[in-house]
């Protein structure tokens, strides 16, 4: 876990002709929850230390608490976000594999947890002490992949009109045929 930051806007060297993604809440609102590029960019001179690696998750831990995204590019984000990356050495030592897409989906659960575990002062923020100790289940890699596969399909059906609309039309067609057949099936009447 590491906090994001905003390079000084007064230093044009940090912003002019930037090529490195620098994420803000607007990126999630405009481009969804799996992000490969940002609206604004910074220059390498703006980076303190290292960029956060691709396959990191950012989550808002202040203001709009709980909003999160999976980043698939090396990047930075503003201070509203906390970055979550996997510690490969630690996981390997424990014999655990973690699919970051599974972690991304599990963050929907963490989002809700964060909303009720906040510190309130001048503005709400997640209780980072509790969050650092939050334990979430990591099933076998095969189970993680199965969960991701199912949730990816649901996501596509719900959010991709080219895939979701034909599936919805097919479902309504079957529903229509079912009710049509039920409404038009009468018991034979015997005329005496």
In a domain? residue 36: yes
Give me the phi and psi of 99, to 5 degrees please: -85, 120
**Shared-domain flag, residues 72 and 146:** no
**Shared-domain flag, residues 88 and 9:** yes
Greater confidence (156 vs 74) lies with 74
**Shared-domain flag, residues 89 and 143:** no
**Shared-domain flag, residues 48 and 103:** yes
* Count of domains observed in the chain: 2
**Shared-domain flag, residues 35 and 128:** yes
**Shared-domain flag, residues 58 and 132:** yes
**Shared-domain flag, residues 125 and 54:** yes
**Shared-domain flag, residues 23 and 45:** yes
For residue 110, the tally of other CB atoms under 10 A from its CB is: 20
Read off the pLDDT of residues 108-142 as tens digits, 9 standing for 90 and up. 999 988 888 888 777 788 888 899 999 888 999 99
Residue 171: domain span: 139-186
**Shared-domain flag, residues 89 and 107:** yes
**Shared-domain flag, residues 132 and 147:** no
In a domain? residue 172: yes
What is the share, in percent, of the chain residues with pLDDT greater than 70? 89
**Shared-domain flag, residues 51 and 101:** yes
- Residue 86's nearest CA partner among 76, 105, 99 is 99
- Residue 65's nearest CA partner among 11, 23, 13, 126 is 126
In a domain? residue 191: no
- 3-state SS, one letter per residue, for the chain: CEECCCCCCCCHHHCCCCCEEEECHHHHHHHCCEECCCCEEECHHHCCCCCECCCEEEEECECCCCCEEEECCCEEECCCEEEECCCHHHHHHHCCCCCHHHHHHHHHHHHHHHHHCEEECCCEEECHHHHHCCCCCCCCHHHHHHHHHHHHHHHHHHHCHHHHHHHHHHHHHHHHHHHHHHHCCCCCCCCC
pTM: 0.79
**190 — pLDDT class (breaks 50, 70, 90):** low
pLDDT of residue 156: 77
- Report the CATH number at residue 33: 3.90.220.20
In a domain? residue 192: no
**Shared-domain flag, residues 132 and 175:** no
Read off the pLDDT of residues 9-36 as tens digits, 9 standing for 90 and up. 999 999 999 999 999 999 999 999 999 9
């Amino acid at each position: 876990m590491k906090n994001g930051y905003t390079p000084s806007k007064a230093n044009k060297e940090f912003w002019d002709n930037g090529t490195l993604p620098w994420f803000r809440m607007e990126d999630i609102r405009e481009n969804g929850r799996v992000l490969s590029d940002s609206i604004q960019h910074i220059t390498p001179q703006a980076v303190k230390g290292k960029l956060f690696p691709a396959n990191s998750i950012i989550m808002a831990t202040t203001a709009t608490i709980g909003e999160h995204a999976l980043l698939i590019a090396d990047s930075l984000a503003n201070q509203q976000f906390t970055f979550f990356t996997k510690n490969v050495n630690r996981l390997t030592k424990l014999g655990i594999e973690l699919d970051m897409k599974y972690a991304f989906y599990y963050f929907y659960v963490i989002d809700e947890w964060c909303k009720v575990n906040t510190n309130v002062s001048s503005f709400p923020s997640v209780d980072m002490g509790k969050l650092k100790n939050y334990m979430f289940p990591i099933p076998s890699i095969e189970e993680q992949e199965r969960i991701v596969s199912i949730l990816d399909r649901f996501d596509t059906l719900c959010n991709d009109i080219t895939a979701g609309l034909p599936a919805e039309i097919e479902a309504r067609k079957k529903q229509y045929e079912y009710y049509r057949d039920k409404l038009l099936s009468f018991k034979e009447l015997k005329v005496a």
